[in-house]
Amino acid sequence: MTSTPSTASADTQSNQSEVLATFAANLSFERIPRDVVERTVNLYVDWLGSTLAGKGARPVESIARFARTTGPADGPAEVLIDGSRTSPFFAAMVNGAAAHFVEQDDVHNGSVFHPAAVVFPVALALAQQLGASGEELITAAVAGYEVGIRIGEFLGRSHYKVFHTTGTAGTVAAAATAGRLLKLSPVAMLDAFGSAGTQAAGLWEFLRDAADSKQLHTAMAAANGLMAAQLAADGFKGAKHILEGAKGMAAGMSSDADPARLVDRLGERWATVETSFKYHAACRHTHPAADALLDVIVKNKLKPQEIERVVAHVHQGAIDVLGAVVKPQTVHQAKFNMGTVLAIISYYGYAGVNEFEQHFLADPIVAFRGKVEMVYDVEVDRAYPVRWIGKVSVHLTDGRVLHGRVDEPKGDPGNTLSREEISTKLRQLVKFSGALGEAEVEHLLNDAWRIVSQERVGRVVGHAAVAA
């Protein structure tokens, strides 16, 4: 970590941080292509579902209690899981925690970064405070996605091996989102990047212990990013090369950082639309194998009892993240266990929140779990993280071996979810957590799909609750 040849020294006068900050500060709604706006609205609605699904989850409610006892009793920004209001910092914190709990929030493959969980909590909280328009909210969100994705790609695979990129890159993404809504100048946006980057944190160590840190990471990435931008608006200065500098994020937390990725085709390549929706409620690293297995099962009309064992051919990152979980003790941990996910796929054809909640420790699932093995695959690993290929070998009790493959798991850009599928997913998630009644959900959906036409972003849940 102490010497990263690819990061810049003070002498080379690198300016990737500055270029990226300037892009985020200057982004206007008019410059964003129509299809990018539409996809961002889809990502927004998808985020609402994931956030409402977090209601009642122990770690989320714990962070909500902290926010209630530590923050103000009222404010301009809405906490979605209970409709209460507080300052933007705490709304971003609680909504950030909630969005990531059921593991169905979006993910960008190339950066292995979950943008929605850290970008939209900030976009909504500040838009509500400032009375910003839906166009402004979407513009700020796109700024956050474009920035965060590029930082995740820049930090590389060595970073993701130890650090939860959504916590680290996510803090700067949140700052970009907040900075855009606050209309920061390029110079102040760079200050916001500096303060956010020097607070960027999040380690994978918690996963083995089934600890609650994942919710803390998204909560604090959102809150600290927002804080960084608010401080910058007040004149608080940040480092000018926090990303690529000799003592910046990559110098400290990566050994394969590529500064060119930070400014990759800004304004031409819209990384936002490369973001995948999560169809299954599990770690994204399980999805390619899950879809490949499902394909084999459907095509061959297999019953789970006919399957003797399954080999999932995976990239190294999957082994790094999922390898820590052997015998899942909690629902959340089960979502990081390849065996459990493939078992649920075999029995139910879908690994959703209800399937995990009800069955992850059932005898047949536990038995099937033991029949699943992950092995490193050169082709899959080489394609990763740009493409997440799914390959499985299914050994049957009759001796046959069937091979399954998907090149784009369900939810990926080339196999994306329709608006109707996103609405259905949201309805299922809200029903799962009981955050809202059915009529309230329809009202919320109706408002949310028309976010771009809102002249002033109003309440999301409160509105729905009042109307219901």
- Per CB under 8 A, residues contacting its own copies are 1-2, 10, 58-59, 62-63, 65-66, 69-73, 87-90, 158, 161-163, 167, 191, 194-195, 197-213, 216-217, 220, 224, 227, 230-231, 234-242, 245-249, 251-255, 324
What is the distance between the alpha carbons of residues 421 and 358, in angstroms, rounded to a whole number?
Answer: 23
Smallest distance from the beta carbon of 377 to its own copies, in angstroms?
21
Element (H, E) at 311: strand 307-314
The sign of the dihedral angle between the CA atoms of 464, 466, 467, 468 is: positive
Smallest distance from the beta carbon of 16 to its own copies, in angstroms?
13
Smallest distance from the beta carbon of 278 to its own copies, in angstroms?
23
Beta carbon nearer to its own copies, 183 or 431: 183
Give per-residue burial for 385-419: e unless 16+ CB within 10 Å, then b: bebbbbbbbbeeeeeeebebebbbbbbbeeebbee
- Chain-centre distance for alpha carbon 277: 9
Write the DSSP string, 150-168. Answer: HHHHHHHHHHHHHB-HHHH
Smallest distance from the beta carbon of 431 to its own copies, in angstroms?
26
Cα dihedral 411/347/338/116 (nearest 10): 30
Smallest distance from the beta carbon of 75 to its own copies, in angstroms?
9
In sequence order, the β-bridge partners of residue 373 are 311
Amino acid at 236: F
What is the distance between the alpha carbons of residues 234 and 179, in angstroms, rounded to a whole number?
Answer: 12
Beta carbon nearer to its own copies, 208 or 456: 208
The answer to whether 148 touches 119, Cβ cutoff 8 Å, is yes
Smallest distance from the beta carbon of 166 to its own copies, in angstroms?
12
Beta carbon nearer to its own copies, 152 or 194: 194
What are the C-alpha distances in Å from 156 to residues 220, 223, 259? 22, 24, 10
Smallest distance from the beta carbon of 259 to its own copies, in angstroms?
14
Beta carbon nearer to its own copies, 8 or 441: 8
Smallest distance from the beta carbon of 248 to its own copies, in angstroms?
4
Beta carbon nearer to its own copies, 27 or 318: 318
Beta carbon nearer to its own copies, 205 or 438: 205
Beta carbon nearer to its own copies, 210 or 383: 210
Residue among 137, 51, 128, 45 at smallest CA distance from 94: 51
Beta carbon nearer to its own copies, 88 or 404: 88
Smallest distance from the beta carbon of 47 to its own copies, in angstroms?
23
The 10 Å Cβ neighbour count of residue 224 is 27
The 10 Å Cβ neighbour count of residue 427 is 16
Element (H, E) at 392: strand 390-396
Radius of gyration of the chain from its Cα atoms, rounded to whole angstroms: 21
Beta carbon nearer to its own copies, 10 or 362: 10
Smallest distance from the beta carbon of 3 to its own copies, in angstroms?
9
In sequence order, the β-bridge partners of residue 68 are none
Beta carbon nearer to its own copies, 83 or 238: 238
Phi and psi, residue 403, nearest 5°: -115, 130
Residue among 194, 199, 204 at smallest CA distance from 235: 194
